[in-house]
Amino acid sequence: MSAPILVTGGAGYIGSVLTRMLLKGNRPVRVLDRMLHGRHGLEDLAHDSNLSVLTHDLRDPRVHEEALEGVHTVVHLAAIVGDKACALDEELAVQTNWSATVAFARRAQAIGVHRFVFASTCSVYGEGREETLTEESPVQPLSLYAETRWHAEQGILELVNDPVFEPVILRFGTVYGLSPRMRFDLAVNFLAQQAVREGAVRIFGGSQWRPFVHVSDIARGIVMAIDEPLPRDVPPILNLGDNLENYQLRDLKEELEAHVPGVRVTIQPEKEDRRTYRVSFDRIEREWGFRARHRVGDGIEEVARAVRSGVIADPRERRYYNA
Ligand SMILES: NC(=O)c1ccc[n+]([C@@H]2O[C@H](COP(=O)([O-])OP(=O)(O)OC[C@H]3O[C@@H](n4cnc5c(N)ncnc54)[C@H](O)[C@@H]3O)[C@@H](O)[C@H]2O)c1
Work out the number of other CB atoms within 10 angstroms of the CB of residue 124.
26
Using CA atoms, how far residue 32 sits from 137, 145, 203, in Å, is 33, 21, 36
Asked if 203 contacts 270 with a C-beta cutoff of 8 angstroms, the reply is: no
Reduced to 3 states (helix: H, G, I; strand: E, B; else coil), residue 205 is coil
Residue 271 has pLDDT above 70, yes or no: no
Residue 288 lies in a domain: no
Sign of torsion, CA 271 119 79 162? negative
- For the stretch 27-74, pLDDT in tens is 999 999 999 999 999 999 989 999 999 999 999 999 999 999 999 999
How large is the average pLDDT for residues 135-149?
A: 96
pLDDT value for 259? 97
Sign of torsion, CA 52 56 60 62? negative
Neighbouring C-alpha atoms within 13 Å toward the C-beta of 26: 2
Distance CA 103, CA 62 (A): 11
**Cβ–ligand 1 contact at 226 (below 6 Å):** no
- Nearest C-alpha neighbor of 134 from the set 108, 101, 171: 171
> Can you say whether residue 133 is alpha, beta or left, with left for phi > 0 and alpha for psi between -120 and 50 degrees?
beta
- For the stretch 70-107, pLDDT in tens is 999 999 999 999 999 999 999 999 999 999 999 999 99
- For the stretch 205-240, pLDDT in tens is 788 899 999 999 999 999 999 999 999 999 999 999
pLDDT value for 192? 98
Strand partners, 76: 8, 118
Separation of CA 105 and ligand 1 centre (Å): 16
| 73: containing domain | 5-175+213-240
Structure confidence at residue 279 as a pLDDT band (50, 70, 90): very high
Residue type, position 57, single letter: D
Residue 123 lies in a domain: yes
Same domain for 97 and 190?
Answer: no
Same domain for 222 and 311?
Answer: no
**Cβ–ligand 1 contact at 179 (below 6 Å):** no
pLDDT value for 106? 98
Asked if 164 contacts 112 with a C-beta cutoff of 8 angstroms, the reply is: yes
- For the stretch 151-186, pLDDT in tens is 999 999 999 999 999 999 999 999 999 999 999 999
What is the overall mean pLDDT for the chain?
A: 96
**Cβ–ligand 1 contact at 176 (below 6 Å):** no
Asked if 208 contacts 278 with a C-beta cutoff of 8 angstroms, the reply is: no
Same domain for 165 and 254?
Answer: no
pLDDT value for 81? 98
Sign of torsion, CA 60 236 292 204? positive
Same domain for 108 and 218?
Answer: yes
**Cβ–ligand 1 contact at 133 (below 6 Å):** no
How large is the average pLDDT for residues 303-322?
A: 97
Structure confidence at residue 275 as a pLDDT band (50, 70, 90): confident
Separation of CA 8 and ligand 1 centre (Å): 9
Same domain for 24 and 125?
Answer: yes
Same domain for 36 and 162?
Answer: yes
Same domain for 131 and 153?
Answer: yes
Residue 286 lies in a domain: no
Distance CA 256, CA 293 (A): 19
